[in-house]
């Protein structure tokens, strides 16, 4: 579902550029092609597309573009255009997904490329995750605009209420905004707020810098599964230097530590990976030592507890843990919590700080 689809095409100077509806259609076509390379019996992806926009003029233009590009016969079959606001169209679309779902999985992607930060109600996103455990949302969020706009004036409090921020939260953010590192602290708290209020288990924010406005947008990926989150993070690594994560690459996503302010910019460049792995290993060892106090922790549960706080992929986390095991900083236990001689750690294995004293 594309909740703010537009007309399918927009102008970039003198040239026309395809918008999100055609980006989604083309992405599925490319996926089908990759799936069928070398296969005698072709496979298909049985996907429905729902494009939503509140403007009839816009949706009429989108239908015209679908006609021009040869998709008109698909309208009403696997392509559906809705002239409604996102929150008004969502209930019927969710019901359509439910009819196609097995045991409530609801494999679906919601692209919510809103203008600003109030057009995609958090209650609607919360309903998506309540109904479907395999749903994912990609949400744009004008974080810098929101932080700059915060104040205790009634009209500003009303706007903040649209993202379910209380008056007390706004007052605290206004206070923090004037402190060193306060902006980064607010960003971290806002990300936690979005995850909590949408009901997503995993929320990862990446930064898109507007050259004209000199402000930053968030591209927030929301999901219920670490694997879905990992695919999104991997896509950011694939477009090195185009996405930004603010932090050192360890367990300080959004880059704020009140005891050691560090507004480092992490650009997903390959040369940053080694530095990230070292930082990640140090942070994980510290987290295991301080949070579990010598008790073993199931590796899968530990990974799920930290992935919201790092730009690392699951493979990077495995590599960092492997380095800790190889230097005897960590001990690996099998599911029965017996010692395991292996650098490879499964999700049902346990890890703990090595109890054998080491001399450096």
Q: How many CB atoms lie within 10 A of CB 107?
A: 15
Helix (H) or strand (E) holding 277, with range, is: helix 271-292
3-state secondary structure of 266: strand
Tens-digit pLDDT profile for the chain (360 aa)?
Answer: 999 999 999 887 788 899 999 999 999 999 999 999 989 898 999 999 999 999 999 999 999 999 999 998 999 999 999 999 999 999 999 999 999 988 878 889 999 999 888 889 999 999 999 999 999 999 999 988 899 988 888 888 888 888 999 999 999 999 999 887 788 888 888 988 999 999 999 988 877 766 666 777 888 999 998 888 888 888 777 665 445 555 555 575 543 333 444 445 555 666 667 778 888 899 999 999 999 988 999 999 999 999 888 888 899 999 999 999 999 999 999 999 998 888 789 999 999 998 764 544
- The sign of the torsion formed by the CA atoms of 56, 57, 61, 64 equals positive
Helix (H) or strand (E) holding 185, with range, is: helix 182-198
Q: Confirm or reject CATH 1.10.10 for domain 273-353, answering yes or no.
A: yes
Please spell the DSSP secondary structure of 90-124, one letter per residue.
HHHHHHHHHHT-STT---EEEEE--SSSSSS-HHH
Say how far apart CA 148 and CA 170 lie, in whole Å.
11
Reported pTM:
0.81
């Amino acid at each position: 579902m594309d909740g703010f689809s537009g007309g399918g095409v927009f102008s970039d100077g003198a040239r026309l550029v395809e918008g999100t509806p055609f980006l989604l259609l083309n992405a599925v076509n490319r996926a089908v092609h990759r799936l069928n390379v070398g296969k005698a019996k072709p496979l298909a992806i049985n996907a429905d597309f729902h494009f939503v926009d509140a403007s009839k003029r816009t949706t009429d233009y989108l239908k015209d573009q679908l006609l021009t590009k040869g998709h008109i016969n698909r309208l009403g079959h696997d392509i559906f255009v809705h002239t409604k606001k996102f929150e008004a169209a969502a209930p019927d679309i969710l019901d359509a997904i439910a009819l196609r779902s097995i045991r409530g999985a609801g494999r679906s992607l919601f692209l919510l490329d809103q203008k600003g930060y109030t057009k995609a109600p958090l209650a609607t996103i919360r309903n998506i995750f309540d109904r479907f455990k395999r749903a994912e949302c990609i949400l744009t969020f004008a974080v810098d605009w929101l932080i700059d706009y915060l104040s205790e004036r009634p009209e500003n409090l009303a706007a903040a209420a649209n993202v379910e921020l209380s008056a007390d939260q706004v007052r605290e953010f206004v206070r923090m905004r004037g402190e060193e590192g306060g902006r980064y602290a607010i960003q971290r708290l806002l990300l936690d707020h979005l995850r909590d209020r949408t009901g997503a288990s995993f929320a990862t924010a990446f930064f898109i810098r507007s050259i004209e406005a000199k402000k930053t947008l968030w591209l927030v990926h929301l999901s219920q599964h670490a694997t879905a989150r990992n695919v999104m993070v991997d896509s950011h690594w694939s477009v090195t230097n185009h996405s930004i994560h603010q932090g050192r690459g360890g367990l300080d996503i959004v880059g704020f530590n009140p005891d050691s302010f560090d507004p480092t910019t992490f650009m997903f460049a390959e040369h940053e990976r080694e530095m990230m792995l070292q930082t990640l290993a140090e942070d994980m060892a510290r987290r295991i030592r301080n949070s579990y106090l010598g008790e073993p922790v199931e590796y899968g549960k530990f990974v799920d507890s930290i992935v919201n706080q790092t730009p690392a992929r699951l493979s990077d986390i495995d590599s960092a843990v492997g380095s800790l095991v190889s230097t005897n900083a960590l001990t690996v236990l099998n599911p029965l919590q017996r010692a395991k001689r292996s650098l490879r750690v499964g999700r049902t294995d346990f890890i703990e700080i090595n109890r054998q004293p080491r001399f450096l």
